[in-house]
C-alpha cells in the first residue's frame, strides 16, 4: 500500500512538473492554459523585488500577464502608473508606514495616530486609483516596538486599541469603497525577518478575526494568510469555515520556510482553494512565497496548483 501511495504521489509530482515546465516556456502574455476563473490570483511585489532575480515592477507586470494574473499587490503609489499602463491592478496596497509596517500598529497608542493618518492618506489614494484594499496590522506587543524590554501591551488592551483605531478609519473606508484588511502573522519562526515575526500581537487567528467582528464594518476585514495560520493554528479548512464572515484577502506560501508551493511543504493548496470556492469567496489570492530557485517556475507552479 505504501509503495502504491508513493508511486501515485511520484506520478502526480511528475505531471505537475511537466505542466509547469511547459507553461514556463510559453512566451509572456500567452499562458499555455486559460485559468478557470474561480480564483483571482495576485502576485505579492516584495517577494520578487527583494529576492530571487529581484524583478522591478515592469518585469513583474510582464511575468504576471504571461501567467494570466492581473494584480501585483502590497504596492505603494509610485508603481501604480506602471500597473495602469499594463491594464493591471493592485489587489491590496501598503498602508504607508515607514520601515517594517507590521511592527508599529494600531494596538499601540504610541504609534496609532501616525498609523491612522497614513492609512487615511492611503485610503484616499487607493480610491483615486481604483485600488480595492489597504493592509493593516495589530503591531508588536511591546510599548517600544523595537525593544522587548520596554514592557508589553496586554492582549485585551491591544485588541481594544485596534478596534478603536479601525472604527476611526471605517467611515472613510466605507465612503471611499476601500477595504481595510488586518493581517494575522506567525510568531514562531525567528529564522528570517520575513518568515516570522516574534513579538507580533495578532498571532492568533481568532484574536484578529474577533477584532474585525467587533468593528462591525463591511469595509474592515481579515487578511487570512494560509502560511501564517498553518504555523500558529493549523486546521486550515475548518479555520476558513469559521472565518468566512470576515475574510477579505488570502495569502499563500509553502510551510515550512515560506518557499514555493511544492511537494516539499505541508499545506494542501488545492484543498484550501476548493474550500474558498465553496464558501463563495470572490476576493484575491496573493502568492507571497520567497523564491528559492527560478521564480518564474515557482509562480507558474503556484498559479497552476491553486487554480481549481
CA angle 114, 118, 119 (to 5 degrees): 115
Q: State how far the Cα of 138 lies from the Cα of 104, in Å rounded to an integer.
A: 8
Label residues 295-306 b or e (16+ Cβ within 10 Å = b). Answer: bbbbbbbbbbbb
Q: State how far the Cα of 108 lies from the Cα of 4, in Å rounded to an integer.
A: 54
The domains of the chain, with CATH numbers, are 40-306 (3.20.20.150)
Read off the C-alpha cell for 215.
Answer: 468593528
Q: State how far the Cα of 35 lies from the Cα of 14, in Å rounded to an integer.
A: 21
pLDDT tens, the chain, 308 aa long: 434 334 444 444 444 444 444 444 434 444 445 899 999 999 999 999 998 799 999 999 999 999 999 999 999 999 999 999 999 999 999 999 999 999 999 999 999 999 999 999 999 999 999 999 999 999 999 999 999 999 999 999 999 999 999 999 999 999 999 999 999 999 999 999 999 999 999 999 999 999 999 999 999 999 999 999 999 999 999 999 999 999 999 999 999 999 999 999 999 999 999 999 999 999 999 999 999 999 999 999 999 999 99
Q: Measured in Å, how far apart are the chain's first and last C-alpha atoms?
A: 28
At 164, which helix (H) or strand (E)? helix 155-176
- Pairing of the two strands 133-137 and 179-183: parallel
Cβ atoms 254, 267 nearer than 8 A = yes
Ramachandran angles phi, psi of 205, nearest 5°: -65, -35
CA angle 12, 18, 19 (to 5 degrees): 90
Quick check: pTM over 0.85? yes
The residue with cell 476563473 is 37
Q: State how far the Cα of 22 lies from the Cα of 299, in Å rounded to an integer.
A: 13
Amino acid at each position: 500500500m505504501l509503495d502504491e501511495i508513493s508511486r501515485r504521489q511520484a506520478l502526480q509530482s511528475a505531471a505537475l512538473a511537466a505542466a509547469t515546465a511547459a507553461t514556463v516556456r510559453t512566451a509572456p502574455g500567452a499562458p499555455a492554459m486559460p485559468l478557470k476563473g474561480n480564483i483571482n490570483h495576485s502576485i505579492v511585489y516584495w517577494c520578487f523585488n527583494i529576492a530571487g532575480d529581484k524583478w522591478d515592477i515592469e518585469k513583474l507586470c510582464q511575468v504576471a500577464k504571461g501567467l494570466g494574473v492581473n494584480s501585483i499587490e502590497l504596492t505603494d503609489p509610485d508603481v501604480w502608473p506602471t500597473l495602469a499602463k499594463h491594464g493591471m491592478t493592485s489587489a491590496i496596497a501598503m498602508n504607508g508606514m515607514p520601515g517594517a509596517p507590521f511592527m508599529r500598529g494600531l494596538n499601540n497608542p504610541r504609534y496609532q495616530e501616525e498609523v491612522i493618518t497614513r492609512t487615511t492618506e492611503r485610503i484616499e489614494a487607493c480610491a483615486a486609483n481604483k485600488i480595492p484594499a489597504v493592509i493593516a496590522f495589530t503591531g508588536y506587543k511591546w510599548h517600544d516596538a523595537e525593544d522587548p524590554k520596554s514592557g508589553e501591551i496586554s492582549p485585551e488592551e491591544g485588541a481594544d486599541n485596534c478596534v478603536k483605531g479601525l472604527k476611526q478609519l471605517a467611515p472613510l473606508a466605507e465612503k471611499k469603497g476601500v477595504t481595510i484588511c488586518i493581517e494575522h502573522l506567525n510568531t514562531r519562526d525567528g529564522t528570517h525577518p520575513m518568515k516570522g515575526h516574534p513579538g507580533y500581537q495578532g498571532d492568533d487567528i481568532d484574536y484578529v478575526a474577533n477584532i474585525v467582528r467587533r468593528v462591525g464594518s463591511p469595509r474592515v476585514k481579515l487578511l487570512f494568510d494560509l502560511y501564517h495560520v498553518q504555523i500558529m493554528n493549523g486546521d486550515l479548512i475548518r479555520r476558513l469555515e469559521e472565518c468566512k464572515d470576515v475574510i477579505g484577502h488570502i495569502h499563500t506560501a509553502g510551510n515550512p520556510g515560506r518557499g514555493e508551493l511544492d511537494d516539499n511543504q505541508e499545506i494542501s493548496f488545492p484543498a484550501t482553494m476548493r474550500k474558498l470556492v465553496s464558501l463563495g469567496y470572490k476576493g484575491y489570492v496573493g502568492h507571497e512565497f520567497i523564491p528559492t530557485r527560478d521564480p518564474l517556475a515557482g509562480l507558474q507552479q503556484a498559479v497552476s496548483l491553486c487554480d481549481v
